[in-house]
Structure formats: C-alpha cells, structure tokens
Amino acid sequence: MQASQDRYTSQKSKADAPLRVVVVGAGSRSRTYASYGLTHPEELQIVAVVDPDEGRCNRLADLHRLPADRRFGNLSELFAAGKIADAAINGTMDELHVSTSLSLMEAGYDILLEKPIGISKEEVLALLAATRSYNRKVMICHVLRYAPFYLEIRKRIAAGEIGDVLNIQTAEHVSYHHMSAAFVRGKWSSKAHCGSSMLMAKCCHDMDLITWLKSGIPPIRVASSGGLSFFRRERAPVGSGKRCLADCTIEADCSYSARKHYVDKGLWGVYVWRSLEHLGPSPTVEQKLESLRTDNPYGRCVWQCDNDAVDHQSVLMEFADGSTATHNLVGNTARPCRTIHIIGTKGEISGVMEDGYFNIRHEDERVGHEYTEERIHLNVSMDMHGGGDLRLMEDFIRYCKGQEASLSTTSLADSIYGHMLGFGADQAMQEAVWVPLETV
C-alpha cells in the first residue's frame, strides 16, 4: 500500500512541476515560445540555451537568469552535461531541423520543432520513423491551429454546421515590406540559402490548416503553378542602383527604400540589424544608415539581389474523398492577410483572419431570401499568428506531461500531410504535372 502511495505521490509531483526545457537556436521564434516561462514559471522553466552565436545565446539566457554552465555553443556541449531537461524547443534554421531533432531524441528529449519540419520529404519521413523508434513526443510549431479564428472554424466543421467539406479555398497575401525583407533581401530569398522553398517557408502553415480542416482525410495528389515575376533585374526602374543609399537616384520615391522600411518605419529590425549586434542593443541611426550603404544585405536594391524565391504560386489539391482545395500565395501585396472560404454540403464559412470574424452561411429556401448569414466575432490578438504562439506553448506542456491532446495538437504524425502537400506542390510546379501523394 505504501509503495503504491509513493508512486502516486511521485507521479502527481511530476505532473505539477514545471516542464524543464532547453532552447536550441536562440532566434526570434524561440524567444517568443520561451517567453511563456517568464509569465508562467509554475508551468515552464527554461534551464539552458544552445546557440553558436554567443551574443544571442547570452541575451536569451540572461532573460531567464541562467548560470554560465547552462549556456552552450553546440549540442555536443549540451549532451556532455547530461540530460538536464525534459524537452527542447528547436528553433534552428530549416536545414538543421531534422539533424538536430534526431540528436535530441536520441539524447532523450521531447521536442517542440519550429516549422517547416524539414527541407525534403525524405528527411521528414525519416524524422517520423525516428519518433516511433525512440518513442518521443514531437510537436510542430503550426501555431495557426491555435489562433482563435481557425480553431473556432475547426470546431464548427467538427460540429457538422456546414456538412461534409467539398472545397477549401485559402490565400496568403504577403506584404510588400515583408516580401522584400524576408524573401528578396533576406535569408529566405533562395532555397540554396535556407533549404526551403518560399511555399514551405511561408505557407506550410496554410498547407497544414487545409489538411487539419479535412479531419484526417489524406490528400492524394497535387498540382501547382507559379514563379518569380516581379523582383527581377530586368524589372529594375530607370535610375535605380545596386544599393538604396549608395547609388540609387530614385530612392526617395521608391516603395522599397531600405531607409524607409528599416530606419524610418523600424520594420523587421530583428533580421536587418543582426550585423550590428556587436555594437550593442541600440545602434545609432547613422550606424544603421552606414550599414545599409555598405555591406548590409538588407541595403540592396530589391531588383538587384540574388533571390530566386517565387513571388506568386497557386496550389490545387485533391483528397481521398474526392474533395478539393486551393491555396494562393501572393507576395508584394499592400495589405498582409490570410483568407479562407470553405464550402460544405450544408453551408459555407468565409473570412479574413486579420478582420477578427468569419461568416457562416446557409441556404434559405424562403421566398425573397437566398441565404442566412451569421457573423462570428472573435477576440483575435494582433500578433503575427492570430494569438496562437503562446497557446501552442501551453498545449506543448500538456502534451509532454501526457495529458489529453487538444483539438489543435500538432503532433508530428498529425502534421506531416501538410508538408507532403508542400513538397509535392513544388515538384508539380517544376515539372508541370500532377504529383501523387503517398499515405504515411
């Protein structure tokens, strides 16, 4: 009897204790997830940081008041210290996701893995096999499943409010300043640079949402078309130069001026000023301008970069039940937003995430009527992911502790079909064919 009571007490104590987590890759996304521990220390405790950039490592470690012996430059140093945590937040760059996750699983860690899962179908499937072999829990940072907008839509579909889903139409409109910062001047401008296509780097969220809304019915084939049309050298306007602040005669009137975006408006500083981190947390305006004039890649003319990421792509997919879906990725828009329109056998749902509401419509056979419409208002955060970031972190803690999975839980096995769609779509676009998708 006493032994049974001791086991119960031990299990209860572990369930009540904060989840101990090591952060691997101390970039902006990891910092966001780790911040949950600052506001909910009774649930999450950051116990170590791993990053080869000493400055980044120390900045995150300082926030969480970590001692010097819990700041590591690489995974080998972490593993040499023994297993010091329950789980890891893996916020490394795309091409490192799978290799680092395999090492972390082998060392005994459950993982919250930043999207995309990996940069090829083969390595994503290898990671799935490894989770089963090591019996580890891996959740993917598909944070939009946790955004109130999409979660409420998912609940309405599950409740049968629009019947069986026949067609889903989604779109992501990437703003002109985000497009030029991340996918023209920045580190996601080329698959050779980051390992991922633009569709996988930006829209694996949307591919995941579509498969999630289909309630486990797998996609069976995909087609796609798109390309890079606007940010090309031959489209450079007369008077432009190589760098905005060095040799451009039209900078003052250009919508893509690096000075306007990154100094005057202060956009995307977390990426743009990485090269000035050695100057401290607050470089001067003149230091920023000099950086843009000389060697900062974000100071380049958007028509004179080494980018090859698409600026538009359309994807068409078919599911095992015969239903279809489309997704349109469009860069360089005036307003950034995600749109959705779902048509079922008994009604439809449509909305724009950033508006904070969606509409449900049903047929109305009454004379003088065509349809009824109900507007569902939501408390939507104005952060980049509709309020989903910290909700995901909360769910990850529950998941690691063995509690019941939520409707949103992004386990690897439940997240993989969106990636199969993305990889298949890129192949389809390159080869101009329908690409069949395997069931995993």
Note the pLDDT tens digit of each residue in 132-147. Answer: 999 999 999 999 999 9
Shared domain for 223 and 361, answered yes or no, is yes
Task: List the CATH number of the domain containing 80.
Answer: 3.40.50.720
Pair (408, 349) in one structural domain: yes
Same domain, 12 and 107: yes
My answer on whether 245 and 335 are in the same domain is no
Q: Please indicate, yes or no, whether residues 121 and 198 belong to a single structural domain of this protein.
A: no
The answer to whether the Cα torsion of 302, 305, 307, 308 is positive or negative is: positive
CB burial of 389-422 (b: ≥16 within 10 Å; e: otherwise) equals bbbbbebbbebbbeeeebebbbebebbbbbbbbb
User: What phi-psi label fits residue 356: left (phi over 0), alpha (psi between -120 and 50 degrees) or beta?
Assistant: left
Torsion angle (degrees, nearest 10) of CA 23, 24, 26, 29: -80
- Residue type for position 74: N
Q: How confident is the prediction along the chain (440 residues), in pLDDT tens digits per residue? A: 555 555 544 455 566 899 999 999 999 899 999 999 999 999 999 999 999 999 999 999 999 999 999 999 999 999 999 999 999 999 999 999 999 999 999 999 999 999 999 999 999 999 999 999 999 999 999 999 999 999 999 999 999 999 999 999 999 999 999 999 999 999 899 998 888 999 999 999 999 999 999 987 999 999 999 999 999 999 999 999 999 999 999 999 999 999 999 999 999 998 999 889 888 888 999 999 999 999 999 999 999 999 999 999 999 999 999 999 999 999 999 999 999 999 999 999 999 999 999 999 999 989 999 999 999 998 765 554 556 788 999 999 999 999 988 999 999 999 999 999 999 999 999 999 999 998 88
Same domain, 328 and 224: yes
Residues 26 and 106 in one domain: yes
The answer to whether the bond into 148 is cis (omega within 30° of 0) is: no
Query: Looking at the 3D structure of the chain, how many domains does it have?
Result: 3
Pair (282, 180) in one structural domain = no
pLDDT tens figures, 315-324: 999 999 999 9
Domain boundary among 263, 278, 299: 299
Q: What is the CATH number of the domain that holds 167?
A: 3.30.360.10
Alpha-carbon span 161 to 360, nearest angstrom = 9
Q: Are residues 163 and 247 in the same domain?
A: no
- Which amino acid makes up residue 401? K
- 281 and 349: one domain? no
Q: What is the pTM of this model?
A: 0.90
DSSP of 320-359: TTS-EEEEEEEEEESS-EEEEEEEESS-EEEEEGGGTEEE
The parent domain of residue 255 ranges over 233-299
